[in-house]
Structure 1
């Protein structure tokens, strides 16, 4: 007997085909039948990274499928579901969010637009904000810059009820086109030991049908009027705990590949 989870995954896998064969109407029909939602990931920061994600909710179980391309090859990419379950209006940032004029909308500059982390899309273990930058548990793009991800996560009832108010962001860009993270764009505001390239948003996408309104007023998620020009304290804390080993992870991975060659 095919399990309910397997059936949901099969339905999600069929959504791209439905888009090709039947157009948006076919996708909408499939999404309604399977309680699935489509996200089109579009490039941020001139990364060229794009793709699609599909979210399926059953009770408080959320199944996430991501298929992206154009990412930094052989590199881990932090990815999260952002937004609010409290009615705040968050969305993907525009180029205007680049307040320092360096040509990059950094994580700190983007947070006022897309809100704090609701779910960290890790490959295993914790999926809370605390794992927002646990690079060792984030998916890794292959040698061609393609990334595929699938995981079923238990979420709160609020998240399940407000899935259409959320959106997905993948991080990690290559400013100078040399195929790896380096210090070309300076240091990350989340952890000065790491390059900006490793944490800057690469793409973003909202759930289809979600409303796009004005910039949120007040602080990230809380609405309490806190300063939204700085990165979330929780995200910075996560940077200290999770991203501190990212450079080592990348170095070990490169040494391993070198030894294999």
Structure 2
């Protein structure tokens, strides 16, 4: 997977601003934080995140590029989260404890911590929706923006510099044979590739404020492949047929997800 030249320059400029010493704050106590998403697990996926926090309300803008666009013939929905309670850093290759060539979410847990907030396009944002595939953006490149309520633990982690932004969903064909035989530990009905982190970055205080220049509409996604009526029975049936190449148990799991 490749990252386009179009995406490189904005990311470099964003990096310089994101690493500035202090957060952009207003008189009401609002502050801004950011993360530069770097490729992990040899994904080639990269991106950027901006978080504008005012009280418990967070407007989160993301721009992602170089992600796998399809999975089993369907638009690939990429789980994305804010992880908290670890060391506030992204796990490196040395964290691959089982030697399958992939640093999974579980192997990265001591570094990134568990899911604090699920960055869904609609509905629930709790850790319980961490693997709810139908609630995440789809496609190889997309912009995401949504205003959500954060819990005290996530707010505290962001303010303390102990939060990590992460995108999941690797290309199964790029995984080792051993990794391809596994399932998603958060949702065994899904293949292991859907859990594999592909881009990660520590959330730091930023002098930027407001949405990213390429940000999408609030509570929506731009630039991603359209996934029309994914909550409808007809769409669920179509997704089930497209997943026919998988095992019967996995196919049924996809149907439950959509």
Q: TM-score, normalised by structure 1?
A: 0.64
Question: 2:224: which partner in 1?
Answer: none
Distance (whole Å) between structure 1 residues aligned to residue 153 and residue 67 of structure 2:
31
Which whole-Å deviations, capped at 9, do the CAs of 1:122-167 have from their partners, x for residues lacking one? 11111111111111111112xxx10211111111344334313211
Question: 1:47: which partner in 2?
Answer: 43
Partner SS state of residue 108, structure 1: coil
Question: 1:148: which partner in 2?
Answer: 143
Q: Do residues 251 (structure 1) and 249 (structure 2) align? A: no
Of the structure 1 ranges 23-32 and 148-157, higher mean CA displacement relative to structure 2 is found in 23-32
Q: TM-score, normalised by structure 2?
A: 0.65
Aligned-residue RMSD, C-alpha: 3.3
State the 1:252 CA deviation: 5.0
Which whole-Å deviations, capped at 9, do the CAs of 1:14-53 have from their partners, x for residues lacking one? xx97974x98359849951462112000111111110101
Distance (whole Å) between structure 1 residues aligned to residue 67 and residue 240 of structure 2:
20
Quick one: higher RCO (CA 8 Å, sep 6+), 1 or 2? 2
Unaligned runs of 5+ in 2: 1-8, 70-74, 207-235, 244-258
Which whole-Å deviations, capped at 9, do the CAs of 1:198-238 have from their partners, x for residues lacking one? 1111111002369xxxxxxxxxxxxxxxxxxxxxxxxxxxx
Q: 2:168 aligns with which of 154, 171, 176?
A: 171
Q: 1:176 to 1:249 in 2, by over 3 A?
A: farther
Question: 1:225: which partner in 2?
Answer: none
Cα pair 1:51 1:66 within 8 Å, conserved: yes
Cα pair 1:117 1:129 within 8 Å, conserved: yes
Compare the two structures and name the one with the higher strand fraction. Answer: 2
Give runs of ≥4 in structure 1 deviating > 4 Å. Answer: 16-19, 252-255
Unaligned runs of 5+ in 1: 1-15, 211-247, 256-261
Distance (whole Å) between structure 2 residues aligned to residue 132 and residue 113 of structure 1:
18
Q: 1:197 aligns with which of 193, 217, 226?
A: 193
Number of residue-to-residue matches in the alignment: 193
Question: 1:108: which partner in 2?
Answer: 106
Cα pair 1:97 1:105 within 8 Å, conserved: yes
Q: Do residues 125 (structure 1) and 123 (structure 2) align? A: yes
